[in-house]
Amino acid sequence: MKFNKFFIICSFFVTACNFGSIDTEELYSNLSDKQKLAAEFLLSEVDNRYTLTNQDLTDFYPFIDSLSLTDVKFHEQKQLLEDFFANHSSAKSYYVYDKSQLTTQYLKQNILDAFKYYQQSWNSYLPDTAFFQYVLPYRVGDEPLEDWRNFFIQKYGYILDSLINTNQPISTELLATEILKVLKLREIKTLQTNVYSKTLRPSTLDKIKVGQCTDYCDYVNFVMRTFGIPCAKDGIFDWHCWNAILAKDSTIDVYVECTPEDQHLKNWLFYTGWKNLPKIWRETFTKNPNSLAEIHGEEPIPQYFKNPYMVDVSNEYFEGQSADFQVDNNPYNSNFAYLKVWNNKFVYVDWAKIEKDNAKFNNISDSVVYFPSYYNSQKEQKPLSYPFVITEKGRRDFVADTINTQKMVLYRKYLIKRTHNLYLKRMLDGYFIGANKPDFSDSVRIYTISEMPLMKWNEVEISLNKSFKYIKYVAPIWSWLNVAELEFYNPEGKKLKGKILGCNNFSEAHYSSKNAFDGDVLTYVDAIEPHYEWLGLEFDEPQQISKIRYIPRNDDNFVQKNQLYELQYADLKGWHSMGIQNAYADSVTFYNVPSNAIYLLKDLTKGHEERIFEYVDGKQVFW
């Protein structure tokens, strides 16, 4: 395990200090020399640390605390949260600095409580620098100060006591795993939308059932650090974050829903369709003196890098690569260059100092497309070079070829995630039957889904010369009823309507049968059990079926008829448009498109998910 040592612990001092409400003489009294160094470490940040608050947040705490006591379902809680913030004024936040609110007693008690688990069997390998950085701090963000160590000792102390009673050696991994097993029982849900951006107080984090990944990371930090487990928040903080347990020989990524063996990061990458994360940063308690925030001077920098409390830990997760760029024409006379990646928008992930007309980026991942860039305070950010990716064959630049152009037939604007293939599979071997008796005792099988359906509208022509009063779709016995839309047409091409019949056994009320007939491809039916669940229609009078259209549970990112699409490709001027097309079917076609480029298909009618891709052998290959 590599520990970052970017801060310096000076020899402690007792006099000639001004820390507002902190009495340093009283603070240092009866502390060991090591604890005095710990006190000095914390005091070095008192002038910079604060609680961020406003009237909205003051109102939010009683609201979320009361909400957590109810049995309101996840989607309802999510809506209530969004409604709360939509109906509040977003009052201007103000800072309550620790130098004016932190008391000597609070700070001293935090030190004593932290040292209760100093140099234990599960953290004895830690250098003091790491203990001070990832166990000792009295806060994790800009939350209101609370006696959280005592709170979590009272709540979870029995976990440690039970391990001690077994007389077995207690390692970091063992203690962290046992704690996470308990936290996993909380059955929380993660919000994808950013409804607030402040660190919540620990007592509220202990109650919430619905929150963001950063909330749960803060919560795990509080709990782990209570018991002397070195724990940090890692990730790309504008994107995703998780907890890192700093074990003796490795960094173990965990999440409040996951024990180490669950391999949270591996599964998250699988779910999102990313092969690797481009860069990984770690939150720190003290400022990183080598951060861009500390060295950029008067030059404008991206908002993400204005945070001095983070350090690059990419090499703890993967073997980093490097990429050099010649700076021939520096449009802003910049001292720094940047790497961006596309994740529905450009996200800055790394920076490099320009030295001798060269910018070198280190510790970057392979299998990720990066966009080298300059930065200024204006909206338009000029590229430094073409997009590139590092593969096992080396670096490959996507230099748009405007001579050798191509015709492109496009079906999607976003990759099909591997988890989405499960939704398609759930309709495989499903079938449609028609009947004229309400108990379907005279049923006739009309069509069986014998091949994997596509994540778009699937159309089936029916030549059966027979009319039915009832028609239904039956899920395969081994799979759940999981369908987004069903449509039935008569020989004249008219879409048939009728009374909705079928399954009433749903995972939640908002996944009911009506979703299959509401015209919204994003709503879907989700039965709680497999076992031949079904849904269908009862017509006013028997109808002949000539066509069936259906779509599995999906992401709504496929090309759809009568929607407008714009194709763009990346060059040295940024995104370049190839025009706008109206889709007349389930694909859209563009002509004379430069080859060997990175592309982006935008749905101008609706939707926000967009993934970059290249075009290889007539197919979209998403990155």
Model confidence pLDDT, tens digit, residues 285-303: 999 999 999 999 999 999 9
Q: What share of the chain is helix, strand, coil (3-state, %, to 5)?
A: 25, 30, 45
More confident of the two residues 2 and 217: 217
* Cβ contact 188:213 at 8 Å: no
Please list the residues that pair with 372 across neighbouring strands: 339
Q: Give me the pLDDT at residue 509, please.
A: 57
The whole-angstrom separation of Cα 156 and Cα 136 is 18
Q: Which helix (H) or strand (E) holds 537?
A: strand 534-544
More confident of the two residues 120 and 90: 120
DSSP helix/strand/coil, 343: coil
The whole-angstrom separation of Cα 614 and Cα 597 is 6
Q: Give me the pLDDT at residue 610, please.
A: 94
The whole-angstrom separation of Cα 3 and Cα 129 is 8
What's the mean pLDDT in 599-622?
95
Token couple for 189:
């849900």
What's the mean pLDDT in 327-339?
93
What's the mean pLDDT in 480-497?
94
Q: Torsion over CA of 231, 233, 234 and 239, rounded to 10 degrees? A: 160
Model confidence pLDDT, tens digit, residues 145-183: 999 999 999 999 999 999 999 989 999 999 999 999 999
What's the mean pLDDT in 341-355?
95
* Cβ contact 1:248 at 8 Å: yes
pLDDT band for 254, please (50, 70, 90 cuts): very high
The whole-angstrom separation of Cα 9 and Cα 195 is 38
Mean pLDDT of the chain: 89
The whole-angstrom separation of Cα 278 and Cα 322 is 12
* Maximum pairwise Cα distance, the chain: 97
More confident of the two residues 471 and 478: 471
* Single-letter amino acid, residue 564: L
What's the mean pLDDT in 245-273?
90
Model confidence pLDDT, tens digit, residues 372-424: 999 988 877 899 999 999 998 899 999 999 999 999 999 999 999 888 888 89
The whole-angstrom separation of Cα 388 and Cα 350 is 14
Report the phi/psi class of residue 181: left, alpha or beta, with left for phi > 0 and alpha for psi in -120 to 50: alpha
The whole-angstrom separation of Cα 184 and Cα 157 is 16
**Which residue from 540, 442, 428 is spatially nearest to 483, judged by alpha carbons?**
428
Task: Write down how long the chain is.
Answer: 623
What's the mean pLDDT in 608-613?
94
> What is the reported pTM?
0.87
More confident of the two residues 136 and 14: 136
Q: Which residues, 6 or more positions from 613, have their beta carbon under 8 angstroms from its beta carbon?
A: 415, 598, 599, 600, 601, 620, 621, 622, 623
More confident of the two residues 508 and 534: 534
DSSP per-residue codes, 591-604: EEEEES--EEEEES
